[in-house]
């Protein structure tokens, strides 16, 4: 009886001490003696604060404007109005709407600039545009960061049918997600003139907005607003622990933090993790019904229920412990054996599941049909590729794109490879991944990136390619360096190699293959700066009697065939158009889409065609081309580019004709070089040296062909106009 009395007294004292701690934990989330409320914001937690000594630094200082009714809170450094602050690492502020051609609306307002601050735009936001036949772009110094395209028809132009069901799916309203860590962008518009529409002068506007707020708001009322809510993330990884907490002597025991030092209290605790000892235990025993008839005992982070009636049973503690140890020993031995068997079975089932999920059955069907020869494709194990890429370390990333992420790896035999880790796909996209394997398995060409094998037993599918050392052609055209530059001879040779590869894909392969995304960033350069065509994620093979494919539009702005864009019918001539844009890049050194050019020439294809039509070719050429190339050969290549960019696909040459014509131009250059070598006083050193270094040998034995003259345009090109 005495023992039970002592036990009850001990439990009572323990519960009282925890109750006192629980009361203390209900303190404000702000620093001591600091204001924690401004208007509708009822809690302003540290690192934010009002008044000296109440905030982490000036970025987190809150200015409370008490002259407004109700009072409004603003960030001191940015001037942004604060609507809500969360301890989860986010805050909601107001962001300006960018208008164009809207009555009584300023057109020079932009989203806030967060560069240099601890704030970034959260991925819970959406970049949204409202208007007819308009492209809204997020740019940074002229380079696109993202955007979306909204279209209209006779119905969506009618104000009575606009925004039914609060929809924003591309008809008059479009949305897109944003990049991780985005801290700055400018908003601009480009109207697309389709069938003489007058959308250029219509009111249009774009904005970054909290997606949850947007979905609960009537879209038609936004035009009457000047700003909308946007969610920011605050990251404290640039601050030391001493700066945040005022000391190094504190414990992380009751909190969880990520790499950006965004913290939260652990389960069973509450409070502000940015204050010293800010995470305090939650007293679950405040709920009197927590343990029913028993006694609730609050413990740090959890609680236990004590049932006094059950303590009457006396158990020999020694026997209980000994029996428990022996039982545990047998249990561990049995569990070890069971674990080995179960793990092996789970591994087999998991691999079978992923194999099926990643299209393995579809690939087996392709193999069993006998139409695909993949004898040289190796099936790699996930263990081999984990080892090759250091478990897919971020330090091994070579690049990221719409289809996935590419890592550099080294196999056990010492070979350097590129491992493409595709994005997690749903069942409808598995066919696209298997399509890439099937297409690459059929291609054997020195100017096409070689597929070494694949791995289908992982959660996301993996492809293993040969490693191409020198990066993309786009890097050398648009980001040249002083140590190495692309000479005229090299540009011509690269164009010939790419044209030869596409000609092979279109006609020489077992099935005609349309690439559908030819661009300079999909052309890689090996150790000898030979071209390699890459990225077949959107490619399609067709039967011999097919003349086109009807699909959703795939590709990259600036390279898209206007015919394909309007009709969704992709033909081999669509690849020819994209190659024509690459030729224009090689000649001019300019980007395929640039906001730095005039309004009607945002597209390089349009800019190049207009320059050729106005006899201004030599005003737009790259300085290296002007320095190295001969006028008549440059003109021949430019005229060929014009023919490739003809808006009527039937009037474009085939890739075989393009390859033969480029080889003819190269052969005529070499013939002139050989003649000049007979006469020492007329010496073309650069052409000879480049040919010796790169060992460029053409397989064509046909006669040299003239580039021809530029043909007149059948219709006006698809023009992009700046409306801001």
Catalytic positions, written as ranges:
517
- Cis link prior to 47 (omega < 30° from 0)? yes
Cα–Cα nearest to 422, from 406, 409, 441: 406
Helices (H), 539-571: 562-567
Phi, psi of 306 (to 5 degrees): -105, 125
Cα–Cα nearest to 515, from 461, 468, 467, 576: 576
Cα–Cα nearest to 655, from 503, 445, 498, 501: 503
Q: How many CA atoms lie within 13 A of 254 on its CB side?
A: 21
CB 151 within 8 A of CB 170: yes
CB 74 within 8 A of CB 38: no
d(CA 486, CA 589): 10
CB 470 within 8 A of CB 534: no
Give the tokens for residue 595: 């906001």
Burial of 517 (0-12, 13-18, 19+ CB in 10 A): buried
In angstroms, the Cα distances linking 421 to 178, 385, 391, 574, 611 are 21, 10, 12, 28, 42
CB 495 within 8 A of CB 439: no
Burial of 387 (0-12, 13-18, 19+ CB in 10 A): middle
Q: How many CA atoms lie within 13 A of 486 on its CB side?
A: 27
Residue 149: alpha-carbon gap to chain centroid: 18
Helices (H), 645-723: 655-678, 685-694
Give the tokens for residue 593: 């889409």
SS3 367: helix
Give the tokens for residue 66: 């008490």
CB 504 within 8 A of CB 517: no
Give the tokens for residue 13: 């004292």
Phi, psi of 315 (to 5 degrees): -115, 135
Residues contacting residue 168 through CB under 8 Å, at least 6 positions apart: 128, 174, 175, 214, 219
d(CA 163, CA 218): 8
d(CA 129, CA 134): 8
Phi, psi of 158 (to 5 degrees): -75, 125
**Secondary structure, 3-state, 180-245:** CCCCCCEEEEEEECCCCCCHHHCCEEEEEEEHHHHHCCCHHHHHHCCEEEEEEEECCCCCCHHHHH
In angstroms, the Cα distances linking 703 to 237, 473, 666, 677, 699 are 65, 29, 11, 21, 12
Interstrand relation of 119-121 and 263-265 (parallel, antiparallel or unpaired): unpaired
CB count, 10 Å around CB of 701? 7
């Amino acid at each position: 009886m005495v023992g039970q009395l002592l036990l009850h007294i001990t439990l009572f004292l323990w519960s009282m001490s925890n109750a006192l701690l629980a009361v203390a934990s209900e303190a404000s989330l702000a620093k001591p003696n600091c204001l924690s409320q401004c208007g509708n914001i009822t809690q302003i937690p540290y690192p934010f604060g009002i008044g000296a000594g109440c905030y982490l630094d000036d970025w987190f200082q809150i200015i409370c404007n008490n002259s407004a009714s109700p009072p409004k809170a603003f960030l001191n450094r940015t001037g942004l109005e604060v609507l809500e602050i969360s301890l989860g690492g986010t805050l909601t502020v107001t962001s300006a709407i960018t208008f164009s051609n809207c009555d009584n609306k300023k057109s020079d307002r932009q989203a806030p600039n967060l560069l240099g601050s601890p704030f970034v735009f959260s991925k819970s936001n959406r970049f949204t545009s409202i208007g007819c036949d308009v492209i809204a772009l997020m740019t940074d110094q002229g380079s696109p960061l993202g955007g979306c395209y909204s279209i209209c028809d006779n119905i969506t132009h009618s104000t009575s049918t606009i925004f039914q069901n609060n929809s924003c799916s591309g008809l008059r309203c479009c949305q897109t997600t944003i990049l991780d860590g985005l801290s700055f962008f400018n908003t601009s518009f480009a109207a697309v003139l389709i069938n003489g529409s007058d959308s250029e002068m219509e009111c249009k506007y774009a904005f970054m907005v909290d997606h949850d707020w947007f979905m609960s708001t009537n879209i038609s009322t936004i035009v009457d607003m000047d700003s909308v809510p946007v969610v920011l993330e605050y990251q404290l990884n640039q601050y030391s622990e001493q700066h945040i907490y005022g000391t190094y002597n504190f414990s992380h025991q009751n909190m969880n933090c990520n790499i950006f030092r965004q913290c939260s209290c652990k389960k069973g605790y509450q409070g502000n993790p940015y204050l010293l000892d800010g995470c305090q235990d939650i007293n679950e025993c405040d709920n009197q019904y927590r343990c029913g008839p028993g006694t609730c005992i609050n413990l740090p982070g959890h609680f236990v229920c004590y049932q006094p009636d059950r303590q009457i049973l006396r158990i020999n503690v020694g026997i209980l412990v000994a029996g428990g140890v022996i039982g545990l020993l047998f249990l561990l031995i049995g569990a070890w054996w069971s674990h080995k068997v179960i793990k092996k079975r789970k591994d087999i089932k998991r691999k079978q599941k992923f194999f099926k999920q990643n299209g393995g059955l579809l690939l087996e069907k392709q193999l069993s049909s006998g139409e695909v020869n993949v004898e040289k494709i190796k099936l790699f194990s996930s263990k081999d590729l984990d080892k090759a890429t250091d478990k897919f370390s971020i330090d091994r990333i070579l690049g990221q794109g719409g289809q996935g992420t590419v890592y550099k790896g080294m196999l056990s035999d010492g070979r350097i490879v590129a491992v493409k880790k595709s994005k997690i796909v749903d069942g409808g996209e598995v066919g696209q991944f298997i399509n890439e394997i099937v297409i690459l398995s059929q291609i054997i060409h020195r100017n096409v990136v070689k597929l070494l094998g694949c791995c289908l037993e992982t959660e996301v599918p993996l492809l293993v390619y040969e490693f191409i050392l020198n990066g993309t052609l786009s890097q050398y055209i648009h980001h040249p360096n002083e140590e190495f530059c692309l000479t005229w001879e090299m540009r011509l040779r690269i164009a010939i190699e790419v044209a030869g590869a596409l000609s092979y894909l279109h006609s020489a392969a077992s099935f005609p293959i349309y690439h559908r995304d030819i661009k300079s960033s999909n052309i890689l350069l090996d150790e000898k700066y030979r071209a390699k065509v890459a990225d077949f994620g959107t490619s399609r093979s067709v039967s011999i009697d097919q003349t086109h494919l009807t699909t959703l539009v795939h590709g990259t702005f600036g390279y898209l065939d206007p015919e394909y864009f309007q009709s969704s019918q992709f033909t081999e001539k669509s690849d020819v158009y994209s190659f024509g844009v690459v030729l224009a890049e090689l000649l001019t050194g300019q980007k395929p889409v640039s906001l730095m050019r005039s309004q009607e020439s945002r597209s390089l294809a349009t800019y190049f065609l207009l320059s050729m039509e106005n006899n201004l070719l030599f005003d737009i050429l790259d300085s290296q081309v002007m320095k190295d190339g001969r006028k008549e050969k440059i003109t021949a290549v430019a005229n060929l580019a014009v023919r490739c960019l003809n808006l009527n696909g039937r009037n474009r040459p085939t890739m075989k004709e393009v390859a033969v014509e480029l080889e003819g131009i190269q052969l005529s250059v070499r013939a002139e070089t050989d003649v000049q070598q007979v006469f020492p006083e007329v010496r073309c050193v650069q052409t000879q040296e480049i040919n010796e270094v790169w060992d460029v040998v053409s397989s064509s034995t046909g006669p040299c062909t003239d580039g021809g003259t530029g043909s007149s345009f059948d219709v006006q090109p698809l023009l992009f106009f700046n409306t801001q």
